[in-house]
Amino acid sequence: MMKFTMSLKQLSRLTFALVALSTFGCTSNGSEYHYVPDDIDLYNTIVHLDSLYFNAYNSCDLKTQSDLYSEDIEFFHDKGGLSTSKSDLMNALEVNICGKVTRELVQGSIEVYPIKDYGAVEIGLHKFHNNQEPEGTISKIGKFVLLWEHKNNTWKITKVISLH
């Protein structure tokens, strides 16, 4: 049996390539891309979980955020690097985000794909508004990827890729 290993650098390159190849609002040969979920129930579940998480994010509900993160979270941030400590991540959210930043989902941007025997991957677009900046400051759209694990009838975020 062949063993497959991948370095963090290789994983990061692959991840960025996959995200870059995603078709957010892209056109191909003059025709527009419109995402249609294969599994509408899964799509609705993940969209609901996304709204639960980011309502908690926007209102500084750290308990709900923590409850939705796996103990083995891997958070890849294009500017901040990799975080693998749930307690460090929660502390960073409390210190740097609570009362300072809100997230706005780009409506209609979420795509959800099942991952056999694991859960689902969610891909989408969002903007973050830093309320420490002057009102009217433009927020750039960023991409995100969330890997959701479904185990024991519970959904948890196991991996996050946040690209701004």
pLDDT tens across 86-144, in order?
999 999 999 999 999 999 999 999 999 999 999 999 999 999 999 888 888 889 999 99
For residue 112, the cross-strand partners are: 122
Give pLDDT, residue 12.
44
Residue 76: which CATH number?
3.10.450.50
Assigned domain for 52 exists: yes
Assigned domain for 21 exists: no
- Structure letter (DSSP) for residue 65: H
Which one, of 103, 114, 120, 90, lies nearest residue 162 by Cα? 103
Length of the chain: 164
User: Which tens digit of pLDDT belongs to each residue from 41-78?
Assistant: 999 999 999 999 999 999 999 999 999 999 999 999 99
Assigned domain for 107 exists: yes
In the chain, the number of structural domains is 1
The pTM score is 0.81
Assigned domain for 93 exists: yes
Q: Is the dihedral of CA 151, 156, 157, 158 positive or negative?
A: negative
How would residue 30 be classed by pLDDT, with cut points 50, 70 and 90? low
- Structure letter (DSSP) for residue 133: S
Assigned domain for 3 exists: no
Say how far apart CA 116 and CA 26 lie, in whole Å. Answer: 27
